[in-house]
Amino acid sequence: MNAVPLSWYLTLSGVLFTLGAAGFLFRRNIITVFMSIELMLNAVNLSFISFSYAFRRVDGQIFTFFVMVVAAAEAAVGLAIILTVFKNRNTLNIDDLNSMKDEYQPAQPEEASETAPVSVP
Amino acid sequence: MDVILFLVFAIIAVLCAINVVVQTHPIASALSLIGVMGSLAVLYLLLGAEFIAAAQVIVYAGAVMVLFVFVIMLLNAGEEVHRGRSFVVQVLGAPLLIALLGLLVYFAQRLFPGAPMVRFGAFRGGTAVAVGRALFTQYLLPFEVTSVLILIAILGAIVLARKELD
């Protein structure tokens, strides 16, 4: 009773991954969708560490380290993209961000007239 | 003791993960995600991965989530508007997810019959010394390539998020 089967850890990893996938599919806010991806990455990390324990080798932990680094880089670039999208479209709802599907609608002209006097002096 | 610790933090992780998906406000989702990452760090510690547990708290729960919270505050993201979901997701989403969960749990239970029981302290290969030795000998090239990746990511983030200087 003092030890946990390895399959419990793997099951927990599967449950977390499925919850992340559910968030990815069902949520409409682009930031929440992005956080669901982070949740899936964390679930995969847990199974990497579990296998690292099972094989008594450190390699799984190295993989987790690389996944963390790539996730940090991905978060920086992804959030910059979200910022740019919000600046151009003024929405965070992924239902409205379908310009690759529909025709592109140019930005409203009144935004340009507002920013023009600021840049003159 | 191991079973109690595992169950407590696994339940916290699953509840927080459900909260991430269910909450309508992004800031509540972000705080729940920090809960998931913190409890996962404890589970890493139980599995003998000390260094990764520390990195999880510092890099993930610290740096990455602070970035998320910054962006949520910066964009003043409010409650999400619910409109009609796409038809494909509405019909196929839940069955496919349940099938995925079933498959993952089945594989986790059946695929590794000879897997050892997890006992805290049985595997001590996750210290900073062991991880660093593997990282700088066997995995030196991937490590160096990763630094280039991070440099590119920094440049990309700056280029994307800068103000137009015209």
Q: Which of B21, B64, B15 is nearest to B39 (CA)?
A: B15
Q: Which residues of B touch A14 (CB under 8 A)?
A: 101, 104-105, 107-108
The answer to whether residue B103 scores a pLDDT higher than 80 is yes
The fold for domain A28-97 equals Helix Hairpins (1.10.287)
Mean pLDDT in residue range A56-75: 92
A55 touching B (Cβ < 8 Å): no
Task: Give the range with max mean pLDDT: A49-53, A114-118, B88-92.
Answer: A49-53
In the block, tokens 């160096």 appear at: B144
ipTM of this model? 0.89
Which band of pLDDT confidence, cut at 50, 70 and 90, is reported for residue B118? Answer: confident
Round to whole Å and give the CA distance between A62 and A48: 9
Bridge partners, residue A29, by sequence? A93
Instruction: Nearest by CB to A61, from B49, B74, B142: name it.
Output: B49
Instruction: Nearest by CB to A11, from B3, B52, B105: name it.
Output: B105
Helix (H) or strand (E) holding A4: strand A4-5
Tell me B62's DSSP state. Answer: I
Nearest-5° Cα angle at B73, B71 to B75: 65
Q: Which of A64, A98, A29 is nearest to B48 (CA)?
A: A64
Q: What beta strand segments (E) does B9-139 contain?
A: 117-118
Token code pair at residue B50? 């000390």
